[in-house]
Structure 1
Amino acid sequence: MLSKERIDELAQLQINLGYTFKDILLLNKALTHKSYVNEKSEAIKNNERFEFMGDSVLDVVVSHYMVKTFQDFSEGLLSKIRAAVVNEACLAGLARDICLGDYLLLGRGEDLTGGRDKNSILANAFEAVAGAVYFDSNLETAYDVFLPRLKKEIAQYAKTSRFRDFKSELQHFSQNTLNCIPFYKVVKETGPDHEKQFEVVVRTNGEEQGRGAGRSKKEAEQAAARSALEHLNPEFKENGG
């Protein structure tokens, strides 16, 4: 059983999280680090099993939202964005947003060496809390609790060009909307061999849809594909184009 002081303490965390546990022991377990368990003589479970479950829960939440929202994103792009969103640094930041470190049960040594603000501990604890919410309720509830916190991160990475494969997006859009595939052609090359600049045109059904330039044919094709998507797909900019 938890002390009244601990229950009162966890009440604030539940407010921060936006979810009230039916079984408060699940939340407490999610906050119990292995360093704390190692210093106790009684049998106490740490949060690692919840962390394992929570990792899967957050993956499903992010994947479900992205598949519904970014319908022209390739599987590879979706995987890259998901990996960026559920990585250690991102989850640690989300944990700090709800002051999760203040509620962790840590061993004395870990506490004294700044464990409450370590990315690895915070990220793992955030996953464990996600697992605890799932076990206390269901996946739909976990989705409602965690998606609002994850959406901002998803949008940020979705807008980052280095994650985008515009050629794949354009091909997917063209096949599904125009019943054709894009055709790319280099129309101009300038500069010396060590500083070449390429200009590429992309066409669908014989009509020019976009142009792009770059230091390589691949870079120019990506720029042309992006230009075409801006021209052809009204939802492109809404989805972070």
Structure 2
Amino acid sequence: MKLSADMKAFEERLGHQFGRPELLLRALTHPSMSSPTREDNQRLEFLGDRVLGLVMAEALLKADRNAAEGLLAPRFNALVRKEACADIAREIALGDVLKLGRSEMMSGGRRKQALLGDAMEAVIAAVYRDAGFEVARDVVLKLWGKRVETVEADARDPKTALQEWAQARGQQPPRYQEVSRDGPPHQPTFTMSVTLESGETAKATAGAKRTAEQTAAKTLLDQLESGSA
């Protein structure tokens, strides 16, 4: 099987040339494009999540040989969560080569964080299946770069950090609500609010509910830390 020019260019950005290019094609095929003769990337995504986890666990242990599990766990979560995978996917323009059905393409699928994160995990699995763990580890470490060394010791996502802030003060978990939904049906934007039991609140708008919630949580955390909430 020969890859197209754009797929060859993606191989270069990824840093791996496939001996079995059908694995790469499968990794980039969203379920909206699957058919009896075309497998989608969901099974590879499942595997890639585990490969990425092992690579990051090993890398963190090596980067800080004295860190306790309580410090390693939040760093690990920050490096493997879907947002981090989506960031890497954007850096190598993975969205440009995603195989999407028409409806998903019309709804801006090439920019969706969840789709990019899932596909990045699937691509990692494809490299692993194509060339083994050591090659997959090298590819992942090259793509993640200095993130492993610079990830913050307190690298929790904003929603988790805000929940821990509330629990430490005897409050109920933060409450998230959809304030509004705007834009066309194929590309909506969501405004979400987060409110603490003690009354502090913040809002944010984004193209996905989860992203808006994370941004609202970060905004409220920043306000709490600065004393302006």
TM-score between both structures, scaled by the size of structure 1? 0.61
Which consecutive residues of structure 2, in runs of 5 or more, have no partner in the other structure? 157-229
Return the alpha-carbon distance in structure 2 between the equivalents of residues 73 and 95 of structure 1.
Answer: 29
Q: Which residue of 2 aligns with 1:92?
A: 86
* Shift of residue 161, structure 1, vs aligned partner: 5.1
Equivalent residues of 1:47, 1:128 under 8 A apart: yes
Q: Out of 24, 27, 52, which is 1:27 matched to? A: 24
* Shift of residue 131, structure 1, vs aligned partner: 0.2
Equivalent residues of 1:85, 1:154 under 8 A apart: yes
User: Per residue, is there more helix in 1 or in 2?
Assistant: 1
Q: Measured at CA, do residues 163 and 36 of structure 1 come closer, stay the same or move farther in structure 2, by a change above 3 Å?
A: closer
Return the alpha-carbon distance in structure 2 between the equivalents of residues 155 and 124 of structure 1.
Answer: 24
Q: Identity, % of aligned pairs?
A: 38
| Paired residue secondary structure (2:123) | helix
Equivalent residues of 2:28, 2:119 under 8 A apart: yes
Q: Which residue of 1 aligns with 2:154?
A: 162
Number of residue equivalences: 156
1:146 maps to 2:143: no
Return the alpha-carbon distance in structure 2 between the equivalents of residues 99 and 85 of structure 1.
Answer: 19
Equivalent residues of 1:62, 1:150 under 8 A apart: no
Return the alpha-carbon distance in structure 1 between the equivalents of residues 107 and 150 of structure 2.
Answer: 32
Q: Measured at CA, do residues 16 and 91 of structure 1 come closer, stay the same or move farther in structure 2, by a change above 3 Å?
A: same
Q: CA RMSD in A?
A: 1.6
* Shift of residue 163, structure 1, vs aligned partner: 4.5
Q: Which amino acid aligns with 1:9?
A: D
1:54 maps to 2:48: yes
Which consecutive residues of structure 1, in runs of 5 or more, have no partner in the other structure? 165-241
Greater Rg, structure 1 or structure 2?
Answer: 1
Q: Which residue of 2 aligns with 1:17?
A: 14
Q: Which residue of 2 aligns with 1:216?
A: none
Return the alpha-carbon distance in structure 2 between the equivalents of residues 144 and 29 of structure 1.
Answer: 21
Return the alpha-carbon distance in structure 2 between the equivalents of residues 144 and 119 of structure 1.
Answer: 24
Return the alpha-carbon distance in structure 2 between the equivalents of residues 163 and 25 of structure 1.
Answer: 36
Q: Which amino acid aligns with 1:54?
A: G
TM-score between both structures, scaled by the size of structure 2? 0.65
Equivalent residues of 1:29, 1:47 under 8 A apart: yes
| Paired residue secondary structure (1:162) | coil
